[in-house]
Amino acid sequence: MGRENELAQLLHYISDAYPGHLTILDAKRGDIGSTAAYYAQEAYDRYGADVVTLNPYLGYESIEPYLAYADKGVVVLCRTSNADSNWLQNDPNDPLPVYQRVARRVKEWNTAGQCLLVAGATYPEELGVIRRLVGSMPLLVPGIGAQGGDLAAVMANGVDTAGTGLLISSSRGILYAGEGESFADAAGQAARALRDEINELRTG
């Protein structure tokens, strides 16, 4: 309970200290509708998150309670960045891979513009397929940094027609950039370096 309270305090602090910035609760929730409703209440009301990551395995009933919060967003797992995901998400024997079915279905659910998709940086070609399937829907892109995703390939395959549409995440590359008293400075430098590289690729 103590750590949960710390998370709630942190998210509310970020929202208060940095107005206009989105807070994403990377919870990867996914449960039947009645339980999902309580998880949605926890994410949005208790923690004050703007967006929460969700697992679509149980179908629309596990997503719908979150979409009932009209001013909030959801990020649905589609093509995750971890290497062991192929057996389900992109089986070479599947004529229509699961990740593509997820992308198409979430596009149908996105009637109010609340949805995003996870599209891992470690699979840039699949990221490009997702972009073509969902148009301008924003994509949350993990896998840059410690997982070795190619930022240039992500930008080439993932931006929308306006040259935007990507929320690029580097978790370990920033969190573990330094330690001890140097942590904050090292993490800040790593975050700024990634931001600058993204902007250079956008304009270059």
Q: What are the residue numbers of the active site? A: 28
Map 159-194 to HEC letters. CCCCCCCEEECCCHHHHCCCCHHHHHHHHHHHHHHH
Helices assigned H by DSSP within 48-135? 64-67, 86-89, 98-109, 124-134
Q: Give the H/E segment covering residue 137.
A: none
| Residue 107 DSSP symbol | H
